[in-house]
Amino acid sequence: MPAQRTPTDVDSDAFERGLGPRNPPGGGLGGGAKPPSEGIWRRGKWAIPLSIIPLLVLLAYGFWTDPRAIPSPLVGKPAAPFSVALFDGGRLHLGDLKGKVVVLNFWASWCYPACYEEAPVLERGWQTWKDRDVVVVGVDIQDTEEPARKFLKQFSITFPNGPDPTGKISVDYGVYGVPETFFIDRAGRIRKKHVGAVTDDVFMREVARLLKEGS
């Protein structure tokens, strides 16, 4: 049955209308609101969403940036000198490699899959460029000897490689994870830091760039 308005309904509507809106919409607090108090609430309605916008922008910015991508302050600075005892015996001093382009790679045998992906790339690069003033150097960090040697054997790594048992080389290069690769120019300056597995493209591009510079 459709709602039929009874006289009572009409009356009560009229009653409400007659008394007028005591509480203006949104101004309910305190009752009997007077015009000035309406103002603050009307303005408040906008202030709350508006104040959220800067927070959202900040949040969006935070989500867009990669927390793992930390800009290294070392790019452009001289590469810290170090000396490493090689797995194959003997020592390697970075200072002895002045005049050559050095690809310094920090890795670990437990770093799967990234280090396993880039190992063939580095060996390939070494084989291709070793006769053209390029040296690839591996530094094994946060590792134990046995799995490290197994890793080198698995990928038939022939470029010089040694451990960093005290972590000093790692900290000197601001390493915060593996793998990380530094491209050092002939003058011994760090020119590029690559975080994550090195690809053939990156290796080729950086080495070619640094070789072209100072020959």
CB nearer to another protein: pick between 29 and 56? 29
Q: Which two tokens stand for residue 203?
A: 């290796």
Question: What one-character-per-residue DSSP string does the chain give?
Answer: ------HHHHHHHHHHHHH--SS-TT--TTSS--HHHHHHHHHHHHHHHHHHHHHHHHHHHHHHS-TT----TTTTSBPPP-EEE-TTSSEEEGGGGTTSEEEEEEE-TT-TTHHHHHHHHHHHHHHHHGGGTEEEEEEE-S--HHHHHHHHHHTT--S-EEE-TTSHHHHHTT--SS-EEEEE-TTSBEEEEEESPPPHHHHHHHHHHHHHHT-
Q: Is 21 a residue that touches another protein (CB under 8 A)?
A: no
Q: Is 173 a residue that touches another protein (CB under 8 A)?
A: yes
Q: Is 71 a residue that touches another protein (CB under 8 A)?
A: yes
Q: Is 18 a residue that touches another protein (CB under 8 A)?
A: yes
Residue with tokens 């390697």: 92
Residue in 42, 74, 188, 211 binding another protein, rule: CB under 8 A:
74
Q: Is 188 a residue that touches another protein (CB under 8 A)?
A: no
Q: Is 142 a residue that touches another protein (CB under 8 A)?
A: yes
Residue in 101, 152, 175, 197 binding another protein, rule: CB under 8 A:
175
Taking the complex as a whole, the smallest distance from the CB of residue 32 to another protein amounts, in Å, to 6
Number of residues near another protein (by CB under 8 A):
28
CB nearer to another protein: pick between 75 and 187? 75
Q: Is 31 a residue that touches another protein (CB under 8 A)?
A: yes
CB nearer to another protein: pick between 5 and 34? 34
Give residues in contact with another protein (CB under 8 A). Answer: 15, 18-19, 29-34, 37, 40, 70-74, 142, 166-168, 170-177
